[in-house]
A = this chain, B = another copy of it.
Amino acid sequence: MNIITISREFGSGGRELGKRLAELFNYDYYDREIITAIAAKKRLDDDYVEKALESHSWQTIPLTFRHSFSSINRIQSVQTNLLVEQKHVIEEIAKAGKNCVIVGRNADVILAEQKPFCIFVCADKETKIRRCIERADKGENLSRKEIINYMQRIDKNRAKTREMLAGGKWSDCSTYHLVVNTTDWNIKNLTLAVAEFVSRWFGR
């Protein structure tokens, strides 16, 4: 079974790379599917699960959600439960024994024993901002400053979760097999380059 995990900076194009790699290799693809599985198991709303897993303090959970709970402790405990559930879902994916690409959620740490090929995807700041603007939903008119703040908050949270799970730095390149910088690449071409690299790894 070949597992490829993709950790990525927000706006770097890591998700697109993961999706294209899965298509090219005909592998299963897991990203938001993990959130949906957790939400179904816990009978919660997908958006709530996603936001709760991306946050590390109750302040960042939208007020609409915050009102549902009686105390900060309760929210933190819900977050911890969701992280545990996320771990279970990822372990179940691996147990299925099928080749797959998993984007984010520290799958590389959770599935370390299965020896996945671990990729980290980064890009320079301007590339990430441009990508965020291009991919924003219609009507979502965030300013440049708001985009930068959002990017920084998401990446900070990802780094925190990783530190909690693995004790290591999220962007520490030596914990991955390959770090690719999407700046100045067309992701479609980059996918072919990464695919060849990965094939040599699995075939070595």
Contacts and interface: CB of A to CB of B under 8 A. Distances in A.
Chain A interface residue bracket vs B: 20 to 34
Given A123-B174, A174-B123, A174-B124, A204 B185 contact: yes
Interface stretch (A17-25, A64-72, A189-197): A189-197
A176 interface: yes
Contacts of A43: none
Nearest to A177: B181
Interface string A61-96: 000000000000000000000000000000000000
- Give the number of copies in the complex: 2
B179 A176 contact: yes
> What's the dominant secondary structure at chain A's contact region?
mixed
A113 to B, nearest CB: 15
A105 to B, nearest CB: 20
Given A174-B123, A177-B181, A181-B178, A189 B193 contact: no
Contact of A181 (B124, B176, B190, B192): B176
Interface of A: 9, 120, 122-124, 171-174, 176-181, 183, 185-186, 189-190, 192-194, 196-197, 200-201, 204
